[in-house]
Structure 1
Amino acid sequence: MRSLYISQQGCYVSLEQETLIIKQGKTVLGQVQIPHLEQILVFGKSQITTQVIRACLWRNIPIAYLSRMGYCYGRILPIERGYRQLSRYQQQITLVEQLLVARQIVRAKLKNSRVILQRQQRRQSSNIIIAAIQSLEYLIEKVDRATTVEQLMGLEGAGASQYFSAFGECINSAEFVFAGRSRRPPGNPVNAMLSFGYQVLWNHLLAMIEIQGLDPYYACLHQGTERHAALASDLIEEFRAPIVDTLVLWLINRHIIDAQNDFVHHNGGYYLNDSGRSKYIKAFVQRMEEEIQIDPEEKQPKWDLLTQQIKAYKQFIYQPIQLYQPYQIR
């Protein structure tokens, strides 16, 4: 199963029997068999025929519409993608159980951030990185003493601030300068890649959450609203550093992304342009298809990690006594 990314502008997606045809003008950019699809992500101004939409609804394939900058406007889902059964169980999770899982999520995010900095510290020592690692260790110790979700959100925010204060030390290209995290709008090309990567990963998690029948609006750490699928925001935390941040560093340090030619400055912020998005998505898919060793006898692609964690969360919903264990790197 795969995701189809329509990242170039002015594309037209039509259906011929069981095959999607992606064109830009008269040029055929690609063909994809519908049975092989898991979801479609459309960035910016491209069109999909009614026949394609109907075929996707029939096969339970969600279609997400995003801005060129990665903001998700909405999704087309089949009627049967409801959350009634599991939603009842999710609503029965107690405040204590929510707090315990929220602690697990924040602790895992802080630990994964620390590991990324520790790896860089072993390659090239930096007093800034040492200070950030020490701060993260202090915050990790405080997680178990947090008695409210609000306190945990504060620790998570403080950890992100410390982590990103040292993130620039991991960048080896003089073309890219990073002094701190800025989101709306992204203040520089590094922030543009981070924001775009988080949005792409968030949408993947949301699709997989829906496939498993979970209600994405009930979560433990983040608060859901009519426009915020909080469970995707919960589950992305453990994957930010090991998937998106490491990919951004790889793209920069290997000189795959060009600071001059792969970005556009728009409304006071920096964003990936068509070529930049194409490079990022290609590298993202390749990275997620890489196999990792999960035990001495078994490997699995990184895609499976996402599904594995969502299934683990689903098991927690059915049996809250078995607390959800987020993914942690070493």
Structure 2
Amino acid sequence: MTVLYLTRPGSELRKQRGRLQVLLRGEVLATLPIREVERVVVMTVAQISAAAAISLLKINASVLYCSARGTYYGVLGRGSGQTERWLGHVARWQDMAYRVQMAKRILQIKIRNQRSLLRRQARNHKEPLMAAAAAQIGHLLPRLDETADLPRLMGVEGRASAIYFGAFGRCIRQDGVVFTGRNRRPPRDPVNALLSLGYMLVLGEVVAALMAEGLHTGLGMLHEPAGERPSLALDLLELYRQPIVDRLTLSLVNRAVLGSSDFDAQEQSGVRLTGEGLRRYLQYYEKAMTTPFHLGHNGSETSFRMLIRQQVEAFRADLEQRQEWCPQPLGL
């Protein structure tokens, strides 16, 4: 299955005899069978014909609307069985003890992933300050078990993330590329631009998986509902920030796949990838999402894209009281 990215301003997506065509000023840039398309990601001003949109909805493919700066706008998708599942989802969401339990599971994995990434970087590059930061993060894990409400859980998460991003800059090993802390809306340096873009793309994957399972993307366990914010998708995104996005960012920067010349900086709108830089990033992102790996020592083969779907299915089973959801940290 293919994810189709529209990154060139003025692009058009049309249906032509069972196939989708990407056109720019009348020139066909790409064509592929509709049945092979899993998702379309629109990252610029582009047009999708009604026939193409209807064909995508018929095969339960989604369309993610976002920006190259990492801004999430929304997802077009059909979903399935929503009414009954939404009612069950709401009932579980109203149980605060259940929400706290699920939030603890999410944050246990996120904080362990943060610790693991820093530990590996410290071990590979003999960085005692990163090792110390990893130890500090580890000391916060018992606090999750001792905490019984969401605001305090978010406080523990905030402290862990402050320590993590305080040490993350030491993981950057490309001359001229500096990370002094997390910033966004807009991102003000290349590393933050890559983090924001990656988090938004994975968020779109999670939203699409939740919609396919008929769950309400706005009813989060950890993140409170807020307008149109996909709070539940933001909850599950926490499981994948370090294993997918942070690792990919470090790989692309430290191997100089992307450098300063691949970014544009503007005072008002911040830093973003150039057109060519974005297309290169997406190639590596797709590779990261689809490369097979084994879960654990004797686990089954999967990929990050498959794992997101599997975890959403398991999350739904827990909501429906069919099976306990037990997410596991991923080797970093």
3-state secondary structure, aligned to 2:20: strand
- Corresponding residue of 1:92: 91
In structure 1, give the amino acid aligned to 2:283. K
How far does residue 64 in structure 1 lie from its aligned partner after superposition? 2.2
Instruction: Give the conservation status (yes or no) of the 8 Å contact 2:218–2:229.
Output: yes
Alpha-carbon separation, structure 1, partners of 2:32 and 2:267: 33
Pair 76,280 (structure 1): closer, same or farther in 2 beyond 3 Å: same
Alignment length, in residue pairs? 328
Equivalent-residue separation in structure 1 for 2:203 and 2:32 (angstroms): 23
Pairwise CA RMSD: 1.7
Percent identity (aligned): 28
Give, in whole Å, the separation in 2 of the partners of 1:82 and 1:190.
40
| 1:108–1:150 Cα change, 3 Å | same
Verify the 8 A CA contact 1:14 1:49 in the aligned structure 2: yes
Secondary structure in 2 matching 1:270: strand
In the other structure, the counterpart of 1:59 is: 59
Choose from 298, 303, 319 the match for 1:301. 303
Question: Aligned pair in 2 of structure 1 residues 323, 155: CA closer, same or farther (>3 Å)?
Answer: farther
The secondary structure found in structure 1 opposite 2:22 is: strand
Normalized against structure 2, the TM-score is what? 0.93
In structure 1, stretches of 5+ residues that fail to align are none
The match for 2:131 is: 130
Report the Cα offset of residue 217 of structure 1: 1.5
Cα shift readout 1:205-258 (whole Å, capped 9, x = no counterpart):
100111111111212101123311111000000100000000000000111112
How far, CA to CA, are the matches of 2:262 and 2:220 in structure 1? 40
- Deviation, structure 1 residue 81: 4.3
Aligned counterpart, 1:329: 330
Match of 1:92, SS? helix
What's the secondary structure of 2:4's corresponding residue? strand
Q: Distance in 2 between matches of 1:82 and 1:316?
A: 17
What secondary structure, in the 3-state scheme, does the structure 2 residue paired with 1:13 have? strand
**CA separation of 1:323/1:158 partners in 2, compared to 1, >3 Å: closer, same or farther?**
farther
Separation in 2 of the partners of 1:107 and 1:263? 37
1:21 match: 21
Q: Does 1:316 align with 2:318?
A: yes
Report if aligned partners of 1:194, 1:248 keep a CA contact under 8 Å in 2: yes
How far has the Cα of 1:95 moved from its partner? 1.0
Q: TM-score, normalised by structure 1?
A: 0.94
Preserved CA contact (<8 Å) 1:263 1:276: no
State the shift of 1:265 in Å.
2.6
Note the C-alpha offset of 1:279: 1.3
- Asked whether the 8 Å contact 1:264–1:273 carries over to 2, the reply is no
Change (3 A) 1:298 1:82: closer
Q: 2:27 corresponds to which letter in structure 1? A: T
Runs of 4 or more, structure 1, over 6 Å off, are none
| In 1: Cα distance, 2:107 partner to 2:299 partner | 30
1:46 aligns with 2:46: yes
> Structure 2 counterpart of 1:312, which letter?
A
The answer on whether the counterparts of 1:309 and 1:327 sit within 8 Å (CA) in structure 2 is: no
Whichever residue aligns with residue 52 of structure 2, its letter is V
- CA distances 1:107-152 after superposition (whole Å, capped 9, x unpaired): 1100001100011111112232122112201111211111111111
Deviates further, 7-16 or 53-62: 53-62
Secondary structure of 1:147's aligned partner? coil
Letter in 1 for 2:304: K
Q: Residue 145 in 1 paired to residue 143 in 2?
A: no
Shift of 1:315: 0.9
| Unaligned runs of at least 5 residues, structure 2 | none
For the 8 Å contact 1:9–1:274, the answer to whether it is kept is: no
Q: Which amino acid aligns with 1:235?
A: L
